[in-house]
Structure 1
Amino acid sequence: MENLDKVNNLEIYDAKAKLEAMHQDIKRLMERSNQRYFDLMLSNLRKDILNSISAYVKDGIENGLERSLADPCKMRKTCKKRFNEFLENNAELIKQEDVSKETLKNKRSELEEIRKSAPFDKCDICFSEVDSIFDKQVNLIHSLQIYGQDKEDKSEISSIPEKIMVKSVLEPISNKQRLQILKSMAFDTQTFTALSKLTGLRGGNLLFHIQKLLENDLIIQRHERGDYMITEKGYHLLIMLTNFKKFL
């Protein structure tokens, strides 16, 4: 009887294990299905939004040209038609998820070719407006592509470990004096005295900030009571901040 109970218990345990495995398989299948549905829904939503933006931009072209082109001018109707075609073709690019730099370069060259055939000095007035509209289109395309390109980079973004990144990168440079200290070591080593003069901090206050940078491997001390110097991690962090500066 005891052996029979053991067998039954093992069978029950085995059945539970199989059920759990089946449950996990079904769960993974549902997650993948939901993810595919979500991706499809997101893709369709993105297309709808881009189509709406493109239509809105096209509507603005006609009004912009009508308001700004030289008048009176015997070429006004002809030029307006040509400008409108050029700008509307560019507006179609907004619908694309990826527009290469080469494509935009060719579009700008196309506008320059149109400019070469301009017959009058006052054509500069018209081309100034077309340039302005074209630049706005290009800026819009660049902005929209942030959400559609570099899928590999985006998967890397999702894997950023928030806790570690905040603790070892963002928090250490979130203080003005610590960033001053790090910048000062970009091209030369620094003594404790030099850092004190730079930051206006003394003794324990300065040591606290230096220690923060040391603990997170952004700087090192060459030997006990020696000069401080930046690490490779610290230097690359400054380069990253330098690249980010253009967005401020």
Structure 2
Amino acid sequence: MNNLEIYDANAKLEAIHQDIKRLVERSNKEYLDLMLTNLKKDILNSISAYVTDDIEKGLKRSMVDSCRMRETCKERFTEFLENNAELIKQETVSKKIIGDKRAELEDIRKSAPFDKCNICFSEVDSLFDKQINLISSLQIYDNNKKDKTDISSIPEEIMVKSVLEPVSNKQRLQILKSMASETKTFTALSELTGLRGGNLLFHIQKLLENDLILQRHERGDYMITEKGYNLLIMLTNFKKYLEI
């Protein structure tokens, strides 16, 4: 075999080697993609199961026991909230879908027959906000992020009063951050901030008045709202410009 034939044979072997290498790489990538897809599915199923369990516990704990409509309303609330929980498994959730869900809840609220229905609806509102916060944290909530920003439309007075001022205080920002993933009691917030009694209540009230947090029910835990969570996300995104 002459040098030319040897060179030709080596070239063919190298080509075969490269073909095999690409085949293995593609197979490994397909296998990895399959594993990641199945892992994501398992995680989302677990999260969905947790949310469903949270719905049951929340409604059972907070709805008015003595109301004759309790079981009927509980069934309707559960259906509404469990349908929302299915959104977690989707690739993306549009602003319209969330808007439709809010409208659906308002329609249910309009049919409420008693004044004390507000107690039960307060819990449903809390659970619904938790679901939206979870969807946002999974980064599947498409909140029209691609819309062109119109800076001139920013309402200065409202923005300062309802957004900038509430988080311009260290303790209030601490309080808001602490609720990003869980609810907090008054005692827990006192331990976190070092504030007591009226001093702590003043800061909590500021956040409540501006819809950044809400109280699950009278004397209940405090939790972050969708507005409050989105504000934290905005601050997190802004942090990179401060070279922190």
In 2, Cα distance between the equivalents of 1:36 and 1:22? 21
**1:14 and 2:8 correspond:** yes
2:237 corresponds in structure 1 to 244
Residue ranges of structure 1 left out of the alignment (5+ in a row): 1-6, 150-240
Distance 1:109 1:246, change over 3 A: farther
Count how many residue pairs are aligned between Structure 1 and Structure 2.
150
Structure 1 residues 35 and 137, CA, compared in 2 at 3 Å: closer, same or farther? same
Q: CA RMSD in A?
A: 2.5
Residue in structure 2 matching 1:80, options 67, 70, 74 = 74
Give the residue type in structure 2 aligned to 1:44: N
Q: Which residue, out of 23, 32, 42, partners 2:26?
A: 32
Q: Which residue number in structure 2 is paired with residue 128 of structure 1?
A: 122
Letter in 2 for 1:244: N
Q: Which has the larger radius of gyration?
A: 1
Per the normalisation by structure 1, the TM-score is: 0.56
Instruction: State the identity as a percent.
Output: 73
| Deviation per residue, 1:138-172 (Å, 9 max, x gap) | 111122235x99xxxxxxxxxxxxxxxxxxxxxxx
Q: Which amino acid aligns with 1:102?
A: K
User: Could you say which residue in structure 2 is the equivalent of 1:65?
Assistant: 59
Distance between the aligned counterparts of 2:85 and 2:138, measured in 1? 13
Deviation (angstroms), 1:246:
7.9
- In structure 2, runs of 5+ residues without a counterpart are 143-233
Asked if 2 retains the 8 angstrom alpha-carbon contact of 1:94 and 1:141, the reply is: yes
Query: How many Å separate the matches in 2 of 1:246 and 1:119?
Result: 48
Deviation of the 1:94 alpha carbon: 1.2
Q: Which runs of 4+ in 1 moved over 4 A?
A: none
- In 2 relative to 1, CA 246–110 (structure 1 residues): closer, same or farther, beyond 3 Å? farther
- Report matched runs for 1:1-248 at 5 Å: 8-145=2-139, 244-245=237-238
Structure 1 residue 242, shift from structure 2 partner: 8.0
Higher relative contact order (CA 8 A, sep 6+): 2
Partner SS, residue 112 of structure 2: coil
**Deviation of residue 60 (structure 1)?**
1.3
